[in-house]
Chain A
Amino acid sequence: MSTVAEQPPAPAAPARETVRAYARRWLTDVKSGDLGSLPIIVGLILIAIVFQTQNDRFLTASNFVNLIVQTAPYAVIAMGVTFALLLGEIDLSIGFVSGVGGVLVALLLIPDGNELPTAVAIAVALAAGLGIGVLHGLIITKVGVPSFVVTLAGLLAWNGVVLLLIGSRGTVILQNDFVIGVANDFMAPGMAWILMVVCVALYAGVLLVRLRNREKAGLANDPLVIIGLRIAGLAVVLAIVVAVANQDRGIPYSGILVGALLLFWTYVLNRTRFGRHVYAVGGNQEAARRAGIDVDRVKIACFAIVSVMAVLGGIILASRLRSVDTNTGGGQALLYPIAAAVIGGTSLFGGRGTMKAALLGAIVMISIDNGLGLLGLSSGTKFVVTGGVLLLAVTVDSISRRGRVHSGRA
């Protein structure tokens, strides 16, 4: 499940590949263990079939929208923590850092006469996340304490900060319309369609510009049919999402936010020098250092991204629950995001992983959680099943990695 598998494979000869050659290459990749998103998509289909046969409410428009609302906060945190995993590091503190974010926003917006403007309150929380991440990063890089220990300490300490911030209030009800709206307001059906068309058009534009540039430079291109299929595939998936969601309440703004963040961070990882350096540090730190990359700076930036994204996820979570309490940041937020990233195919050893993987992994986790909930099963059962799925996902990855080793793609 490597990132590079996503990129258009290019043969040595500067000619356009035939569809058959492309298909053969794809099959070779799969056989040699480069499964890409294949297992997770198969997994999602299985999940849908199993839960739908057990409870016919699983595949309804209303539950579909619920799924988006429930997935959004964990997907955001999972995308963030992917930056730590890409380095081969880990951040265990994400749950309570997200808690700090949610609680800060809730407290700063209590309408007691001296509440802050909404934008300022959110900015303060994000800045706190930035500070927390930079602090983690500095201790990890400059002092040399392993990230596992630093963020384990963070898990305890930021849990304490959540409790201190909440104090004797017990539960703080969110009363700010904007913040509540993030997870509880929905995009107008017409707007959603327009946005969908714009997205597909942009994607098509990007692919076609790339095609033309590569052709001009005499480089190999994917077959036109494959490019067409990719665009059509995105169009179909987005159209289904919009059509189904519009049958019910529509697409929640938190879902739109997830999409925007997915695009933004994917761009950063694939098209900027910083992103390239993140993969390089995760792949071979010594090689990165010798290539003149400031490894410490890359690491600190990544831990900052993890914490800022955690805070953002925390705000979305608070918005969905409309309140924060002493348990904020605990429970599912604690480890679900890491599990989501890993299920999506991000390697814990660094260097391999994508934003898309984090999102797909979060969808799997939450679908299982949601489906078991519909069946009326307890949290105990939920945790046992999710644990099993995580183990299964990592097993599939390990076995496919063995295929990679055999074919020399360790």
Chain B
Amino acid sequence: MTTQSDTPLLELHGVSKSFGAVQALFEVDFHVSRGEIMALVGDNGAGKSTLIKCIAGIHPFDSGEIRFEGEPVHIHGPKDSARLGVEVVYQDLALCDNLDVVQNMYLGREQVDGARRLNETAMEAKAQETLRGLSVTSMSSVRQTVAGLSGGQRQSVAVAKAVMWNSKLVILDEPTAALGVAQTRQVLELVKRLGEQGLAVILISHNLHDIFEVADSITVLRLGQNVAAYKRSETNQQQVVEAITAGKLSKVPGQQQEAIA
């Protein structure tokens, strides 16, 4: 057994998932370590979303092994993955526009005092501390409603919400898809800081430029199989694009269709 620091935080060995006749994932190996920013790339339908949904406990894997901190675990539902310290920031962020930043960060996990009253003071202090820890300082007030925030600020709130709960692995689904240049920068800086703070990060993105800017490693999925895994420092965009579009498959599903196409 290797020492803890060498053990990846999350390891998937040969996981498969099918929906009826559709093989969404086939014998995928995947791992991410503490402090590592792992980019997950692939064309539409490559199985990226299925993979993160399975890690998040929304769907169960059909077969394969999951190890968390070296120990085999079973994830049967979102609560299991949350207990392990896995938080997902979905593309639509799931924030309530009519609530303020603090209220959103604590939604569903509000702190109450002895008399079951909301402990606003404690929540505001902790939320501010978390945001400061991530160097999110562009908001004028944490008591501002989320409706008044920019896209980048909203993304920051969603990420801060995810890391506030002693999470170990944060999964970001297309965090920069809807953002402008300056705000993309803001969010990428935030992603880097998550890695620096020792969290494992899985970043899903179509934007290779962004990925090459922040990711430490890149896993490429194609038609439900992982076709390549690179260290960022040892690859280039062209290689990754080739893997996304024409990576070598160990098993070719629907071979005839491929041949016709």
A interface vs B, CB < 8 Å?
Answer: 2-4, 7-12, 210, 213-214, 216-220, 270-273, 276-277, 279-280, 282-284, 286-288, 290-293, 351-352, 404, 407-410
Contacts and interface: CB of A to CB of B under 8 A. Distances in A.
A408 B125 contact: no
A173 B35 CA distance: 77
Contact of B99 (A4, A213, A271, A407): A4
Interface SS of chain B:
loop
Contact of A8 (B103, B139, B143): B143
B125 A219 contact: yes
Contacts of B96: 279-280, 283-284, 287-288, 351
A9 B140 CA distance: 10
30 contacts: A3-B98, A4-B100, A4-B145, A7-B143, A9-B144, A11-B140, A12-B139, A12-B140, A12-B142, A210-B121, A216-B121, A217-B121, A218-B125, A272-B112, A272-B116, A276-B99, A279-B99, A280-B96, A283-B98, A284-B94, A284-B97, A286-B92, A286-B94, A287-B93, A288-B96, A290-B94, A293-B107, A352-B98, A407-B148, A410-B97
B251 interface: no
Nearest to B88: A290
Contacts of B137: 12
Interface in B93-120: 93-100, 103, 107-110, 112, 116-118
Contacts of B109: 291-292
Contacts of B139: 12
B117 A272 contact: yes
What 7 A-B pairs have minimum CB-CB distances, sorted nearest first? A291-B108, A283-B96, A351-B98, A283-B98, A287-B94, A291-B107, A292-B108
Given A7-B100, A11-B140, A292-B109, 15 more contacts: A4-B98, A4-B100, A12-B139, A276-B103, A280-B96, A280-B99, A283-B97, A283-B99, A284-B95, A284-B97, A287-B95, A291-B107, A293-B108, A351-B98, A409-B148
Interface SS of chain A:
loop
Contacts of B118: 270-273, 276
A326 B137 CA distance: 63
A410 B109 CA distance: 26
A347 to B, nearest CB: 9
A283 to B, nearest CB: 4
Give the interface size class of chain B: 35 or more
B124 interface: yes
A407 B152 CA distance: 16
A219 B99 contact: no
A2 B98 contact: yes
Nearest to B122: A217
Interface in B57-116: 90, 92-100, 103, 107-110, 112, 116
Contacts of B149: 408
Contact of A12 (B94, B112, B141): B141
